[in-house]
Amino acid sequence: MKKSKPNTLYWLPLLVGFVLAFGVFLGYVISNDIKDLYYYDQSSESYSHGIGDVEEVLNLLDRKFYRNVEKQALIDDAIYAITNGLDPYTNYISPLNMVGSNESLEDSIQGVGVELFRINDTFYITHLSDDSLLLQKNISIGQALLKVNDVNLLDEGMTFKKIRQEILRKDPVFLTVQTRDGNIHEVSLNKRSLKNDDNDAHFLLNDTIGIIKLSRFNNKSYERFMEYVESLFEGKTSLDLILDVRSNPGGFLSEVMQILQQLFHEKDLVLLSTEGENSRKRVFKSRGNTFFNIDEIVVLVDENSASASEILSGVMQDWDRGVVMGDTTYGKGMVQEQFALKSGGSLRLTTSYYYLPSGRKIQFKFGTNLGDSLEVFKSQKYLRPLNDQSHIIPDVLVSDISSQNCGYSLEQLYHYSFGLKKVETDVESYFSSLKLPSDFIFENSYCQNEALEDLKSILNRRWFGNSNELKRQLLNDPIVINAVDLLKIESDLSTFLRSQKD
């Protein structure tokens, strides 16, 4: 399927995800039974398969090599060599890289409240989580961040991850910034707790339909989900729900399983199982104890919906509980557990597969160990034929409408945005009349309109917050509009699902 340029709803949260405030990194989905991030002390275990040879080589290098070598670096390299190529997800985290390694799965993190965007070799401040505090320190949008503590951010090879690790290393944090007129000064900031759900959204689309967007399944996602549902249900006895997990890379298995419990009114339905050659089978069933009468459900997915997002959409599809709409998902259906090592590092190890209620797997085919299955899978309630084991293929395929890959520069848009002052009143009129400078060159009018929408997103998020911008975009999102239309036309989605049986 042809992939298109994602609209702003997707690139914006990912783009600003490289931040000091939120420390986001995507793609790790860690689970073990109902506790997903599982630390295991292997000091009591003993292994003999070649470990003596490794120790012997290290000892010889330590005693006989012509120059001194960093032993931990050699150990790290050896472990990387062992784990690389096992599968796409097993990986080693060295003691040095453990700092902040699990932040994307936490509801709140430590930070200084500054978000960055890299333009050429310079990191610029693009968003402040607390304007009043940071303005008192003479920090503002558009300033260049030159140093964090004693680390020069202009050095070759500087990354967002290195900056984040340096911020976590000490408190207070010293930032050296350069104003737009060239003045350089240093400020000190104390780290504080910052919310890590800034890319979630929830609101009513009309009197009968609500929408919840979950950006990941972190350690408080179920709690947040219930807060969102309670807010939507205020004064209502039932509600249809659009659940948006597009660009959601996954997270804790326990969180998505608790959310699924609230979407199934029946008891003892098998929702998911996990099993591996060296891991016992675990089966998760519904409890039938729901707190709100959520009626019809549409789940929105795309090619960046992975793991826990695929569990949610796959379970809904297998039990004919709702309609899955959007694009084919990523295809990540293997369980990782995190084992703590005595060195202070850890090993994220693939231990088992996820199995959906129909018996199918989510995992895409890689290497030679996953052959194509000839087995035919069907949904549990209406016996609809289900697509192959890799990925979740939606019931309603709706790809991103935008089809052109415009090559305009986001760096140019950010530079231009730094010079625009916040508008406090009549914002809609301001945005409707907003224009780009004449020296911005575009291939065609479509690309010019795309750039203008991106600029509006940058400004709206900066001035009024991410939740405001997410709501604006979701209200105008063609796929959300399609989901609303489906719910309006099909008052009972079971009729629509039954029609797919043949």
pLDDT in tens, 452-469: 999 999 999 888 888 889
Whether 329 shows a pLDDT value over 50: the answer reads yes
**pLDDT band per the 50, 70, 90 thresholds, residue 388:** low
Q: What is the mean pLDDT of residues 356-374?
A: 72
What pLDDT sits at residue 199? 84
- The Cα diameter of the chain in Å comes to 78
Q: What is the mean pLDDT of residues 189-211?
A: 88
pLDDT above 70: percentage of residues in the chain: 84
Q: What is the mean pLDDT of residues 54-79?
A: 88
Instruction: Show the CA angle centred on residue 185, arms to residues 133 and 190, nearest 5°.
Output: 35
Closest CA to 130 of 147, 106, 114: 114
Chain centre distance of CA 410 = 21
What pLDDT sits at residue 20? 40
Q: What is the mean pLDDT of residues 181-199?
A: 85
What pLDDT sits at residue 140? 87
- Among 38-52, 142-156, 276-290, 384-398, the minimum mean pLDDT is found in 38-52
Q: Measure the CA–CA gap between 260 and 238, rounded to whole angstroms.
A: 17
- The strand pairing partners of 349, in sequence order, are 337
Structure tokens at 121: 């070799």
**pLDDT band per the 50, 70, 90 thresholds, residue 290:** very high
Whether 152 shows a pLDDT value over 90: the answer reads yes
- Among 95-104, 167-176, 272-281, the minimum mean pLDDT is found in 95-104
- Among 330-344, 361-375, 443-457, the minimum mean pLDDT is found in 361-375
**pLDDT band per the 50, 70, 90 thresholds, residue 38:** very low
Q: What is the mean pLDDT of residues 390-399?
A: 90
What residue ranges do the domains of the chain occupy? Answer: 1-105+197-502, 108-195
What pLDDT sits at residue 85? 83
- Rounded to 5 degrees, φ, ψ at 386 are -110, 150
Q: What is the mean pLDDT of residues 117-141?
A: 82
SS (H, E, C) 428-473: HHHHHHCCCCCCCCCCCHHHHHHHHHHHHHHHHHHHHCHHHHHHHH
What pLDDT sits at residue 471? 94
Peptide bond into 172 cis (omega under 30): yes
Looking at per-residue confidence, does 100 or 482 come out higher?
482
What pLDDT sits at residue 97? 80
- The strand pairing partners of 324, in sequence order, are 299
Fill in the DSSP letter of residue 65.
Answer: S
> 170: number of CA atoms within 13 Å, CB side?
10
408-464 confidence digits (pLDDT tens): 788 889 989 998 988 888 888 999 999 998 888 888 888 999 999 999 999 998 888
Multiple choice CATH, 108-195, 2.30.42.10, 1.20.20.10, 3.40.50.2000, 3.10.129.10: 2.30.42.10
What pLDDT sits at residue 19? 39
Whether 32 shows a pLDDT value over 60: the answer reads no
**Domain spanning 1-105+197-502: CATH superfamily:** 2-enoyl-CoA Hydratase; Chain A, domain 1 (3.90.226.10)
Distances (CA, A) of 346 to 93, 338, 342, 349: 5, 7, 8, 9
- Among 287-291, 476-480, 493-497, the minimum mean pLDDT is found in 493-497
What pLDDT sits at residue 131? 66
Whether 243 shows a pLDDT value over 90: the answer reads yes
What pLDDT sits at residue 484? 97
Structure tokens at 501: 């049986």
Burial of 378 (C-beta count, 10 Å sphere; 0-12/13-18/19+): middle
Q: Measure the CA–CA gap between 187 and 185, rounded to whole angstroms.
A: 7
